[in-house]
Amino acid sequence: MRSMDIAATGMQAQQLNVEVISNNIANLNTTGFKRQRAEFQDLLYQSIRRPGETSSDQNTVVPVGVQVGIGVKTAAVYRIHEQGNLTQTQNPLDLAIQGKGFFQVLLPDGTTAYTRAGSFQLNNQRQIVTADGYLVQPTIAIPQGTTSISVNASGQVLAQVTGQTNPQTVGQLQLAIFPNDPGLAALGQNLLQETQASGNPQTQDPGQQDAGTIQQGFLETSNVNVVTEISSLITAQRAYEMNSKVIEASDQMQQTLTNLR
């Protein structure tokens, strides 16, 4: 009886769907988080009678045929890179990207990761780093005696140093642009990694060509919509229950066959 196996694949698919939705809800307050959506495909079909095959010596053709599906599988978990809202923090090292692009971060192994979370700090060498201490690329150091830091929309970092009249330019932030943002691999810690699917990054100054602009004193919030996620969760739960009912019905049918005398 195929129905039990088919329903089992449906339950597994909806279990994954719920896991994706729960991860979205769990990251409701994660800075720069992009929500995900599970996508599914039907499995192979068993052809009992193929459509288009001849049905007689006069070359009459079967118009429809008989094909029975054997269930569902997960095709992808797609990351939706929709702009999140910007919330004001008044922290000079909190930076948000308005538009496309990612901040570049140097990992301890020497590779580069990418993030939309711009909650930056200074390390013991007065370099701009992430909350985990990873250097923001290009490396920018703030001089001793700095009384204020400003970052303009085009990514220039300026420091007002004691004893100087005009602010001093200490660095230039650059953003990475990818041909296919959803193709980036998630590493955790708000970091993404380049893959063959994402394509090679193109670094640009903020505001140039496709790159977004920098908003100082703001952070980009998660783009998770609670109402949408709760609605999707209810739908997934109902689909899971319906698949379980199919298994119960199939079991009862098998019991009926077993009890035949």
Q: What is the pLDDT of residue 196?
A: 96
Predicted pLDDT of residue 37: 96
At 52 the pLDDT is 82
pLDDT at 216: 97
pLDDT single digits (tens) 131-176: 999 999 999 999 999 999 999 999 999 999 998 889 999 999 999 9
Kindly give the parts of the chain with pLDDT less than 50: none
Q: Cα(234)–Cα(132) distance, rounded to whole angstroms? A: 36
| 106, β-bridge pairs | 112, 135
pLDDT for 94 equals: 96
Q: Which of 72, 68, 84, 78 is nearest to 15 (CA)?
A: 72
Convert the pLDDT of each residue in 44-54 to its tens digit. 888 888 888 88
Positive or negative, the CA dihedral 132, 137, 143, 148 is: negative
Check residue 209 and give its pLDDT: 86
Q: What is the pLDDT of residue 49?
A: 84
List phi, psi (to 5°) of 247: -65, -40
At 157 the pLDDT is 96
pTM for the full model? 0.87
